[in-house]
Amino acid sequence: MQDEVIIDIENPQESGDLINRKAVLQAVSEGCQELRGVYGRCEKLINALPPVTQKSGKWIHFAQSDDCSECGWSTGKYISPSKYCPNCGARMESGQNE
């Protein structure tokens, strides 16, 4: 079983798709006790999902925007770069906006 867990301790709301595989299996187990056979299929599907790993990148500054070094997403002219790329989820290294 894969148990890789990556979470953003500082901003857990920003990592909405990153979940704990073991916690999901426990929740499914507890919530589906009356549905015999379903849990086994769900467990196989959950365990087959690839683990999530946190990327890290930097904002590349241009005159009109900042672009993510990982996926190329552009903040555009009016959006300030943040600690994370909203497109790919890469965590931006410190000193990114200098």
DSSP string, the chain: --------SS-GGGGTT---HHHHHHHHHHHTTTSTTHHHHHHHHHHHSPPP---EE-EEE-SS-EEETTT--B-TTT----SB-TTT-PEEPTTTT-
At residue 7, the pLDDT reads 46
pLDDT digits (tens, 9 = 90+) for 55-84: 889 999 999 999 999 999 999 888 888 888
Q: What is the mean pLDDT of residues 8-30?
A: 66
Overall pTM > 0.75: no
Distance, in Å, from the CA atom of 16 to the CA atom of 57, rounded to the nearest integer, reads 19
Sign of CA pseudo-dihedral 51, 52, 57, 62: positive
Kindly report, residue by residue over 46-55, the tens digit of the pLDDT.
Answer: 888 777 777 8
> Higher-confidence residue: 79 or 15?
79
